[in-house]
Amino acid sequence: MATAAQIIANQANAQHSTGPKTEAGKASSAQNATTYALTSKYIIVLSGQEERFAHLSQSLTDEFQPDGAYQEILFQQILHAAWNLERCRKAEFDLQSAVAGPATDILTVQAHYAQLKLIATYASRAERSMAQTVKELRRVQSEMFYRREAGFRNLSPLIETKPVLKLIVDRARRASEMRLAALKEALEAPPPRPNPEIMEKYRAARAAAQAAAQKPPTPAVPPVAPKPAATPSPAIVNAPNPIRCGASDKILFAASLKK
């Protein structure tokens, strides 16, 4: 444990350290926090790389389409690994541009073998991480798809995929076997025997229909025109009402007509 005198001395010495004075020194000091950022926890995006990173992030999001918190974690690991690969390529390009000439390949320069090896190590690590995470994300998304198809929507993603898939396959196989058995039974079963009462009614109705079809058609009766009303003679019109006359009156009335 530091004593009080040591703490005072350290504070006094710190007042004399004001950091780099030149622009080159300040630029080098600014990169101290990102010297080994290829293995850091968070994604490092330097100034001027924002647009490239946003394009890569959006492209991977559209392709993988993470759904849920666990898939989002896996997707962030994939994005981190993919961006580190991009940074490794840029670091190798910058080393080629800064050290070797346009006609010299940096891979053939022995003096920069250590730097190239470090870049290759980071790139290989990022490739393995991305391959493993993509495999895990594919497994999780396939499991979620089969769960939705089977109706298992509330299961934890920590449940193993194989039992779920085996259950789905077994259900589908049993359903298929039951359908095939029912179809086979229907094909092999003897035809049903007809009901005698129904057959008798059917024969009677059929015979009646045949008899009606063989009977000659009844000729159509022409319509009868109505008879015109008879016009009474003037004598009859002027005659007294015969209904109110007696028998003797009718005889006298008939004799008067003959005259």
pLDDT means over runs of 10, the chain (259 residues): 54 56 56 45 80 91 89 92 91 79 71 84 92 92 78 66 72 89 85 79 85 73 67 52 56 62
Residue 14 belongs to a domain = no
Query: Do residue 98 and residue 170 come from a single domain?
Result: no
In a domain, 28, yes or no: no
Residue 58 lies in a domain: yes
239: exposed, middle or buried (Cβ count in 10 Å: 0-12, 13-18, 19+):
middle
Residues 41 and 126 in one domain: yes
Dist CA 112 CA 104 (whole Å): 13
Among 103, 127, 153, the domain boundary falls at 153
Q: Alpha-carbon torsion 119, 125, 129, 132, what sign?
A: positive
Residues 165, 126 share a domain: no
Do the Cβ atoms of 43 and 80 come closer than 8 Å? Answer: yes
- Residues 47 and 146 reside in one and the same domain: yes
Q: What are the φ/ψ torsions at residue 211 (nearest 5 degrees)?
A: -65, -40
Together in a domain, 73 and 139:
yes
Domain boundary among 140, 168, 188: 188
Same domain, residue pair 44 and 112: yes
Structural domains counted in the chain: 2
Query: Does 146 share its domain with 167?
Result: no
- The pLDDT of residue 25 is 56
Per the domain annotation, does 235 fall within a domain? Answer: no
Q: Establish if 96 belongs to a structural domain.
A: yes
Read off the pTM: 0.47
The token pair at 145 is: 């798809």
The answer to the question of residue 53 being in a domain is yes
Residue 182 belongs to domain spanning: 158-188
Q: What angle do CA 41, 137, 169 make, to 5 degrees?
A: 155
pLDDT digits (tens, 9 = 90+) for 102-154: 667 777 677 778 888 888 899 999 999 999 999 999 988 887 887 777 666 66
Say yes or no: 77 and 120 in one domain.
yes
Q: Are residues 57 and 120 in the same domain?
A: yes
